[in-house]
Amino acid sequence: MPELPEVETIARGVDMLLRGGRIKQFRFGPKPEPFKTSPEEMAEVLPGATIQCVHRSGKHIVFKLTTVPSAHSSRAGGPRNHDSRTNAHRLNRAGSRSGEWIEWIVHLGMTGRLLVSDPDVPLPPHTHCVLSLASGRELRFVDPRRFGRIQLLRSEKLDGHFISTGREPLQIGVKEFAALFHGRQTSIKAALLNQKILAGVGNIYADESLFRAGIRPQRRASRLTGVELERLRQGLRNVLRKAISLGGSSVSDYVDASGEKGLFQFEHMVYRRTGKPCRVCGTPIRRIRIAQRSTHFCPTCQR
DNA sequence: ACAGGCTCCTGCAGGC
DNA sequence: TGCCTGCAGGAGCCTG
């Protein structure tokens, strides 16, 4: 399940492979559920756009694109060319003279993958959409469980889109971090999973950071001391940075944009280690359920 | 406003 | 071997 380190790894990989590329075509499969924006609209807007960069925001992969300026319509023919010129025309009427900034946003859900492939590689099952690039390569969105979501944001809606999401755990300071949990009556585990509080933390890194901070996941967030919250902030930073450096955790079938697995699953202290001895004290790791999530902790090391 | 529960979806593991 | 059941979980939605 992709969380911050996995999404960061994928975004970096896609950015390296596709930055500067021009989109030739957008194709989509028969099941429209993964789209927040209609696939028909994407097929209209995306062809002709250039990928300026790809980055991560929380668990979202954000493609920053520019659409074609109106002087840019002398390309190879076909119906797609017509689509992109029509679109450029419409966007230009909306007020831009040099091509419009848009964002194509991908959320991988639990089982989503973004894969950069050559077109002659057979499409994997559950491929929901494909971006064909002028370079000849393809970007494929594959998601068996279909919890992922794809969305297109036009420039007039870009400002403020991520305002409603939580803070980035790798950038937040001591006082701001502590303030996030002030007055929260829920468990610290549930609070860590809440994307409106912190963006990017999921079940693996919530459990792992709480272990590193020595805090029991069922503790009420508002009752944690300043010292404990700072241990948690540091634990979270350390675990996320280490995981990014190892390319994320490959727990189920996660792979990066090139199809490589991550290595951080071998560093897990508690996650999915129920009944196994704690790597620090030897006590068997316990599993409970908090906020409908499996929660793993060491009853000796975490208080 | 906040907290907690339900739901979506499919592949896989385990039991019989 | 084959079928059935339960489990995995991000986040939107609903309810209290």
pLDDT digits (tens, 9 = 90+) for A136-186: 999 999 998 888 999 998 766 555 455 457 899 999 999 999 999 999 999
| Tokens (6 digits) for A81 | 């060319």
- Helix (H, G, I), strand (E, B), or coil: what is residue A66? strand
Asked whether strand C has any atom less than 7 Å from the CB of A292, the reply is: yes
Q: Which nucleotides of B are covered by protein (CB under 7 A)?
A: 2-11
Length A277 CA → C5 C1' (Å): 29
**Is the confidence at residue A220, as pLDDT, over 90?**
yes
Cβ neighbours of residue A260 under 8 Å, at least 6 residues apart? A247
pLDDT band at A69 (very low <50, low <70, confident <90, very high): low
Q: A182 — phi, psi (to 5°)?
A: -65, 125
**Range scoring the smallest mean pLDDT among A31-35, A130-134, A144-148, A174-178:** A31-35
What is the rounded distance in angstroms from the CA atom of residue A10 to the CA atom of residue A49?
21
Give A80's strand partners.
none
Asked whether strand B has any atom less than 7 Å from the CB of A293, the reply is: no
- Helix (H, G, I), strand (E, B), or coil: what is residue A110? coil
Asked whether strand C has any atom less than 7 Å from the CB of A3, the reply is: yes
pLDDT band at A247 (very low <50, low <70, confident <90, very high): confident
Q: Which residues in chain A, range 192-211, keep a C-beta under 7 Å from any nucleic strand C atom?
A: 193, 195, 202-204
Please give the single-letter amino acid code of residue A67: T
| Among the listed residues A263, A262, A261, A283, the one whose alpha carbon sits nearest the alpha carbon of residue A211 | A283
Length A289 CA → B4 C1' (Å): 13
Length A193 CA → C15 C1' (Å): 21
What is the rounded distance in angstroms from the CA atom of residue A288 to the CA atom of residue A217?
9
What number of residues does chain A have?
A: 303
pLDDT band at A191 (very low <50, low <70, confident <90, very high): very high
- Cβ atoms of A4 and A240 within 8 Å: the answer is yes
Length A88 CA → C16 C1' (Å): 49
The three-point CA angle A258-A146-A261 to 5° equals 25
Known catalytic membership, residue A103: no
Asked whether strand B has any atom less than 7 Å from the CB of A220, the reply is: no
- Cβ atoms of A275 and A251 within 8 Å: the answer is no
Which nucleotide, over all strands, has the C1' atom closest to the CA of A186? B3
Known catalytic membership, residue A90: no
Length A136 CA → B4 C1' (Å): 49
pLDDT band at A32 (very low <50, low <70, confident <90, very high): low
Q: Which residues in chain A, range 262-291, keep a C-beta under 7 Å from any nucleic strand C atom?
A: 287
Q: Which of A22, A24, A59, A80 is flagged as catalytic?
A: A59
What count of Cα atoms within 13 Å lies in the side-chain half-sphere of residue A255? 12
Give residue A35's pLDDT.
81
Handedness of CA A209, A215, A219, A223 (dihedral sign): negative
| Tokens (6 digits) for A86 | 């029509």
Known catalytic membership, residue A22: no
Known catalytic membership, residue A2: yes
The backbone region for A200, taken as left when phi is positive above 0, alpha when psi lies in -120 to 50, beta otherwise, is left
Residues A76-87, mean pLDDT to the nearest whole number: 37
The three-point CA angle A116-A30-A202 to 5° equals 55
Which nucleotide, over all strands, has the C1' atom closest to the CA of A203? C9
Give residue A110's pLDDT.
87
Asked whether strand C has any atom less than 7 Å from the CB of A113, the reply is: no
The strands making up A60-66's β-sheet, listed across from edge to edge, are A50-57, A60-66, A101-107, A149-154
**Cα torsion through A257, A158, A132, A50, rounded to 10:** -100
- Helix (H, G, I), strand (E, B), or coil: what is residue A297? strand
Total-model pTM: 0.87
Length A276 CA → B16 C1' (Å): 27
